[in-house]
Structure 1
Amino acid sequence: MIQVRWYFYLVIFIAALTGCDKNRVFEENQDIPDNNWQIKNVPQFSFTIEDPQTPYNIYFNVRNAIFYEFYNLYVRAELTGPDKKPLHLKLHEMYLMDKTTGRPLGNGAGDIFDHQFLAIKNLKFPQAGTYKIRLKQYMRKDPLPGIMAVGLRVEKVSP
């Protein structure tokens, strides 16, 4: 009975922590099939901006396994607006491991590591509506083993 009660309080506590993220507008992660990110696999994320006057930060989420072969990850990001016109097209380099020591960066649990990278800072969207971001791996290896999931987070900039 005590274990069930402890578990119940733990679930409530975790729900309270995750539910208090008032700046988050959107966050989604997509698993990469077989932990091998193919160039033709281009995850797409759609989110709605209601207040274009507010500045936003956009983050990329990456989950990798310890056996990932490189210290960095190149991702080509394409942001399009409600009118389908490109707003942002850039190649982003993200460091998953220390390039000198090879020590994994990010938050780890065993042999899995989670990262969050600031990709676009203080972006003011030109209009309200639905925006899309496509992420394409831009490494020399296809498929790219060790990438387990990629994601996107959009949040309002805190005053």
Structure 2
Amino acid sequence: MKRLGILLCLALLMGSCDTNAVYKEYTDIEGGKWYIKNAPSFTFEITDATQPYNIYYNLRNSLSYGYYNLYLTRYLRDANGKEIESRLDELILMDPKTGKPNGDGLGDLFDHKFLMKRNYRFPKPGKYTMQIKQYMRQDPLLNIMSVGITVEKATPAH
């Protein structure tokens, strides 16, 4: 019950900060075991293709995660399923030398928000899907609790 309260507080804290977000979604990884075949997809709608967007990975891991980094492959597809791009990214979850966790932590859970694409302009208005696969070659990858994305309107630098 205590853990549920902590998760609820984390969700409230995380949900209250993204005023420019046009889309934000998480997929929980069942039992913290991320299988390679489990590739969460996130479908969102872009109504203004003239507007630049920042796209972020959202990730939650426990302190028991066995590596300092995480390799992910992402696939961006348009409404017809045509792949616009795919790319392998490395996310640094902990300091490689000290093991100190990055991100915001509460108890043994840490939340991360990593910039995936800055000032990205979608080709046209419509629905897009981002699919994310873990690429660590450990199957299942343990202690990853959830993964997601945030799409925000990019704000001009001041």
The answer to whether the aligner puts 1:53 opposite 2:50 as a matched pair is: yes
Instruction: Name which of 127, 131, 146 aligns with 1:130.
Output: 127
Residues matched between the structures, number: 145
Letter in 1 for 2:44: F
Task: Name the % identity.
Answer: 48
- CA-to-aligned-CA distance 1:114-158 (integer Å, 9 cap, x gap): 000000111100110000000000002100001000010000001
Residues in 2 aligned to 1:22 and 1:117: alpha-carbon distance in whole angstroms: 17
State which structure, 1 or 2, has the greater radius of gyration over its C-alpha atoms.
1
Which residue matches 2:148?
Answer: 151
State the shift of 1:110 in Å.
1.1
| Cα offsets for 1:86-129 (capped at 9, x unmatched) | 11200010000000111111000011100000001111001100
CA 21–96 in structure 1, closer or farther in 2 if over 3 Å, else same: closer
Q: Whole-Å Cα distance in 1 between the matches of residues 19 and 58 of structure 2?
A: 19
Q: How does 1:1-159 map to 2 (within 5 A)?
A: 18=16, 21-159=18-156
Specify the SS of the correspondent of 2:132: strand
**Gaps (5+ residues) in structure 2?**
1-11
Task: Please list every run of at least 4 consecutive aligned residues from structure 1 whose deviation after the TM superposition is greater than 3 angstroms.
Answer: none
CA deviation string 1:22-45 (max 9, x = no partner): 311000011001101000000000
Normalization by structure 1: what TM-score? 0.87
